[in-house]
Structure 1
């Protein structure tokens, strides 16, 4: 609270008091007192006004400073009215009651929003899990005969499964809920499962794969890692370079501090230098996304959010028209 603001607020009351002093002085002058006799009275009165306002200003400044210190010490600032109890005047008590009621109402609204969000997420997860069963059944039926139509159906079912997983993780990412389970994971097995999930996509696009043997095991959430790899592989095929055979190469490098750098490189259309810093932003599609109208800009955003939640590093480097390489930094499982 600044002195200038305080005195600007007190200008009207002080002006009224000065006018009252002038009126009283004129009345006393009419009763026969001289101006010389009125000067000490007026000086004492004005001194009292200044002293009172000065003391009042110092008290208010101390009061607001105490509030600021308490506010600064709180992690959750909105709980301030619940812990602030220092209200000495009726005006301060009134403001305190108002703040407390506002905070109470806000907390009730927040709890209701959390409840609705949780209910929405649970319904979404139930819906996605229920959708997986008919997708699996149709896949089995379509897989009985290796016809061109059935292959096309299987490819579309893979896309449906990919989108349903994306919806599932999007619902989880928008809530504070986390069901990640960090455990020992066979990295090679997760990669093979990812390729199996995209079998028709890889076959029909004649994708060339390069997978190393004996990839070290890591600590991670298996489902989350599978989702990230699935998204990267799906993008690698989706944004392939016209006229060339798509290639996806997996490689790894053991770094210091028991870290494993898992690289996934493709020979697709690449990412432009302007778009590269923004590929993990929510809803960002970039140049490639504008050419491919099915792009939502959510896949890599979810991958980054999942990796951040797991403490896993995820980065990308690319050269437009040449390659794109994603790097996942995982913790190696050391054998004892």
Structure 2
């Protein structure tokens, strides 16, 4: 692009598509940029195209904006910077000076970000000893580029049967607490995070309960949390719609799995398998005892194949009716009597 075809030489709003409700602001932004630039060069931001790389600027939706330059120009001159100018307050200008490929802008407390904010972003750099100004984005909407800080004050409190996880919301985000969506990841301490369990759709709260039945007993667990702005489509106006990636993960917390309550009750509320086994065993034993004790027919059925000793011990069976104990008792008495007489008569014979 030649020097004579800068931003001011282009047709009004050429190459840019703006919403009808932002048309007036867009016109003011272009006029403001034309005032700044003598010979300007268009440098697209995240939209791509020719220029010194692309820029990505994410905000924590409070006071901070972090920008990344995909192709920073390292030189010995002054560091390049981005200039943020509020379109509805042209006098509000803030520099974001690059250190290598990143820069961070911290706004003053009285200029906390609100959903209606929009900025014009320009890149300022020195080339051949002269300052060159390039347009990055004439309508930067912070609410469309939100990356929140990780949840703070993340803690665990283990009690009987459960573990309560709590965290805090930054004071600047308290009015938007109902729009904060969280994701929890938890795992055993020795496992990798790739195997962690997840709970998402945690919306508008600052605590979560993990029941003991969700955790393996006798283990130490590790948990972490992240957050993002969440707005359901169609539930809010355009100026209250937020977009952006998840925050970084919070610092992890460690806790021992709580002891389960009700040792004989399984997690699904059904009787324990040991109790079922014992009950079935007792029932079968009782039925067997009753059948053998009270039913002669059952006895005959089980005893019908037992052989009778009549054919083998006919004399014994005839005399004693098969009573071996009577016969044995008689023989023992006879042997004992003979031995007694023999022992008593021995001295006389000598």
Say whether the fold is shared (TM-score over 0.5): no
Query: TM-score band (shorter)?
Result: under 0.3
Q: Which has the larger radius of gyration?
A: 2
TM-score (norm 2): 0.20
- Structure number with the higher helix fraction is 1
